[in-house]
Structure 1
Amino acid sequence: MLPSSLLMPVMRRLDPETAHNLTIKALRLGLAGADTTPDDPILETRAFGRTLKNPIGLAAGFDKNAAAVNGLARLGFGFVEAGTVTPRPQPGNPRPRLFRLTEDQAVINRMGFNNEGLAMFLENLQQADRRRVVLGANVGINKEGADPERDYPALVSAVAPHADYITINISSPNTPGLRDLQSEQRLASILSGISSPKPVYVKIAPDLSEDGLEAVISVAVQHGVTGLIISNTTIARPDTLKSPLKREAGGLSGAPLFGPSTAMLARAYKLAGGRLLFIGAGGVSTPEQALAKILAGASLVQLYSGFAYQGPALLPRLKAGLAALLRQRGFANVAQAVGAGA
């Protein structure tokens, strides 16, 4: 077991945001351990013009300022996505703003794009060891004074030299009006101003209507987007939630998001007809769930809440289990399994 996993029970006694901040500091200082076990060759995946040792990545939101990329890479992720970064620093919403729904293995957050701004983000990106980590940069807009058609292209241009791919975040529920940018007209207007030498992904909400999803896919294809990340957190509150914190405002992630996000992923894969690539996010904490995302159309899978709950020990279990499942199904590699169940 990785040393950091021994600390998980202690961290769970702290309030979620304090625990998270301590984790980032430990990772930055190299105190979170490392997974030195070689990945099974069946997991090797091509993406972003790079060869990834495995298809399991860390979703944006965990390392907002790219402060701990090297430490995260040592844990065994195939890729790490840092951010969301905004042009100017902003404090985000008032605390408390991060809630563990332990009974539901879920998280609600209303962080509000709290981050140290683009200048610090770029400084941290430049310290990332890109030989050892495949790195994504997730970009967003400030709560006040934003001009999406100006800000997104400028952010993409700034981070592109220091990342392997860029994600346009237009789907957080915690910045007023942000999700409106998923409309056909606004998304087309933003994407028309973006020129990037690196692959560009758009991260969308699981709460989009079927017509809305179809429109996003059409616009993304028209404007040369590489793919979509499906999905961000949800504003829905399933009747199955048991935690007394279930009525807190914000985006819900974790186990309850797995079903709806995977169903949307399968629909998107069919609609795209091979014209887009997909990263599956939402509720993954077991090898079976990782494989389900891939079968639904994801070339890559991202973790967030499962990693927050289970810690670094989740990664080796997930990778070994996924490799075994791929072999049981008769797949020679991850790519063969992509979309096989959509």
Structure 2
Amino acid sequence: MLHSAGQSLGESGQVIAARGYFQHLLSEIQRRLGSDHPQTLTARSNLARWRGEAGDAAGAVTAFADLLPDRQRVLGPDHPRTLTTRHNLARWRGMAGDAAGAATAFADLLADQQRLLGPDHPHTLVARSNLARWRGEAGDAAGAATAFADLLPDRQRVLGPDHPSTLATRHSLAYWRGEAGDAAGAATAFAELLAGRHAAGRPPGQTLPPRRQEADRVREEDRLALPDRGHQHPAHPRALRLPRHRPGLVRRRPLPRPRGGRRPCESRQAPRPRTPALEVLAGQHGLDARRHDRRRPRRLDPAPPPARRPRAGGGRNRRRSG
């Protein structure tokens, strides 16, 4: 929950505030839990991410490069968060201008994801998309077009033809065909993609702005640049724990008592006094508030029940005389 609050700041556009938030959170978590705690590593990852989003791509590369050996040592090289750190490091290398280094890093990551997750896992397909993209950014436009052409049928088979990632793959394939010199093939691919979007419900006169098209093309790299949201750990101090209830739900009174029993986990505490609202409702309906108040105090020394009088003919257990 603490990490989600910072992510909400950044995703709402306040990237500078998110960076400052995670700087403060990292100092507090590191002071309370130590440098090797998983929550500390999570805060370092989120701080590195929002440092890059704030414009410091080189700083994000340095931070992820420092984080990666610690995650490999604490969590292991095959842990999902270690793979996420490798993905973020490769991404920010490309964003910082090292397209060849990003392509090499994604190639190494893809081999491990195919081994651990399988060839049809969504994360594996995302790594293939990112590898194709940065291969093209490094100057191999023909190789990028070939890689996207190989990726498209797998995306259609695994995710479906109308999935956003499948449409983004078609967009990237058309783009890199044009960059590789096949202008006619790119125009045909874009026309087919546009017709598919119109068939999906977009009005014919409504087109995507250029910045939105570019965002669709590079959508894949953000799908696995996942923020680390952390997890609740039993060793956390009480200051880092949060109540277990839905966000925004403030429960000031206990839940109503079910008929014929007590509320679950009801503690035997001192009874609460009768509320004025119950008195008002009872007066409006002509009821006795003391009979209908379930929270009225119980008697600690209840009176013994009255003795039952024996029947005239005797009980069943009475022995027959004679």
| TM-score, with structure 2 as normaliser | 0.30
Which structure dedicates a bigger proportion of its chain to helix? 2
Greater relative contact order (Cα < 8 A, sep 6+): 1
| TM-score, with structure 1 as normaliser | 0.29
Which structure dedicates a bigger proportion of its chain to strand? 1
Structure with the greater alpha carbon radius of gyration? 2
